[in-house]
Amino acid sequence: MPTFHDPLADTAEASEAMRGLAHASRVFDDPADTYTVFGDLAATMRSLRQVLDQLAATHLAHRDRAHHDDGDHLAGDRSALAAADELHQAGTLLEQAHDRLDAAFSHSGRIAWHPAPVTGLDHETPTPATTATAGALRLTVWSDTPVGEHQRYAYRITDTTTGQELEGRDLFTGAGQPVDPDHAIRDLAIFLSAAGEARQYALDDPDSEPEHAGLFPEWAGEAARTNADALTELTEPTEQTAPAEASRPERRWISVVFLQGEEADQVLDVIDRDGNAAAIEHLKGWDYGEETTQAALANGYVYDKPPTRALDRVVTGKDGYTLTYNPFAGHVSLLREHHTPPADALEDPAVVTAREAIAGIGTPTPEPEARQAASVRSRRAPDPSWFEHPGVAAVKQSRGLSL
């Protein structure tokens, strides 16, 4: 375990861990697992760059103690300066390597790793499994081995018209999300819908290269296109409210702050050094109470559940705050619970659901005060990619099927 205060012990542990990774990464049973390794390596390289800068700073700060073996202080001083310069040069090269790794990370994220070819159709489906029908398509999912904080699902897509089948095991939940086969079915239907739309776009414009054309084999994209309406029905979650719960306030989350870049790195350092609770207390400084609430409502930053991306980590704190962060992508956000009676929510034009905000339906025109509050903290607004069309957003943010 890291000590966070003993550089000698932590360096030895890091060296041993990298030696183990070099041995373990010789073979990947599932190429989709490389995406998680990419994220961890990116975070490691950022930390290594910081270490190099700190080593250089130490050489410069203690030049008065630098001597050669023969006691020559001037020679020792020159060696300290040279070492610091070389460390800075190494840091610069490492930053370039990090950029290359980040580019490779991005390219890898566009890959949909198809399963190994199925040799026959007499294989058995593990139990329990969840099956849904979308026109001529039959979708089946079942829980597979978890990967870190993500629940993995295996799946089978069957075209009952032609008998063609496709199996995979690269469908993942968000970080920390519970096992929910019905949600996995919806996700799979979303991915297929995106493939069907790409197939239709390719037919309408033969010279185009649709972004999601490679999600599935061509026959699956064609089947998704011809069963588009049925798939759309599967992408809509079933919402049922028990009579006893109808009068309860509806629980939602509003965005308090979203940080990325250097500001997010500072909070990630707080998490590493002092823990999640300290980070939540730090981010609560961006919460201006009712002013923050009204700005979030006016801009549609209201969610039925905290929005997460692949590899995001979710922490529920006190007083209704939820922290989400991603040390690999370098972003941090804080959300606060917002309870609204359903009847009042329907009558209040300033309140929109997350689904309406995404679709651009019913979004109110901010009042002058709300517009001003939103402008003050516009740089802290959540990533706009969270407000895309549901299918496209799921395709870009889920890293199970790397869409």
pLDDT digits (tens, 9 = 90+) for 280-291: 999 999 999 888
Closest C-alpha among 308, 315, 300 to residue 370:
300
Predicted confidence (pLDDT) at residue 154 exceeds the cutoff of 60? yes
Predicted confidence (pLDDT) at residue 80 exceeds the cutoff of 90? yes
Classify strands 130-134 and 165-172 as parallel, antiparallel or unpaired: unpaired
Give me the pLDDT at residue 116, please: 61
Chain center to CA of 341:
31
Predicted confidence (pLDDT) at residue 301 exceeds the cutoff of 90? no
CB 172 within 8 A of CB 151: yes
CB 230 within 8 A of CB 135: yes
Average pLDDT over residues 282-311: 84
List of residues 6+ apart from 280 with CB closer than 8 A? 315, 317, 318, 321, 323, 334
Predicted confidence (pLDDT) at residue 395 exceeds the cutoff of 70? no
User: To the nearest whole percent, how much of the chain has pLDDT over 90?
Assistant: 22
Peptide bond into 128 cis (omega under 30): yes
Domain locations along the chain: 7-109, 130-235, 245-388
Q: CA-CA distance, 79 to 89, in Å (whole number)?
A: 15
Give me the pLDDT at residue 60, please: 93
Q: CA-CA distance, 223 to 159, in Å (whole number)?
A: 7
Q: CA-CA distance, 53 to 43, in Å (whole number)?
A: 16
163-184 core/surface letters (b: 16 or more CB in 10 A; e: else): eebbbbbbbbbbbbbeeebebb
User: To the nearest whole percent, how much of the chain has pLDDT over 70?
Assistant: 75
CB 90 within 8 A of CB 96: no
Q: CA-CA distance, 332 to 324, in Å (whole number)?
A: 6
Chain center to CA of 239:
25
More confident residue, 351 or 104: 104
Residue 277 CB neighbours (<10 A): 14
Q: CA-CA distance, 115 to 202, in Å (whole number)?
A: 24
Give me the pLDDT at residue 191, please: 87
Predicted confidence (pLDDT) at residue 182 exceeds the cutoff of 80? yes
Predicted confidence (pLDDT) at residue 188 exceeds the cutoff of 60? yes
The count of C-alpha atoms lying within 13 angstroms of the C-alpha of 125, restricted to the half-sphere facing its C-beta, is 19
Predicted confidence (pLDDT) at residue 67 exceeds the cutoff of 60? yes
Length of the chain: 403
Q: CA-CA distance, 4 to 10, in Å (whole number)?
A: 7
Chain center to CA of 369:
33
Average pLDDT over residues 199-220: 82
Q: CA-CA distance, 184 to 179, in Å (whole number)?
A: 9
Predicted confidence (pLDDT) at residue 244 exceeds the cutoff of 80? no
Residue 107 CB neighbours (<10 A): 9
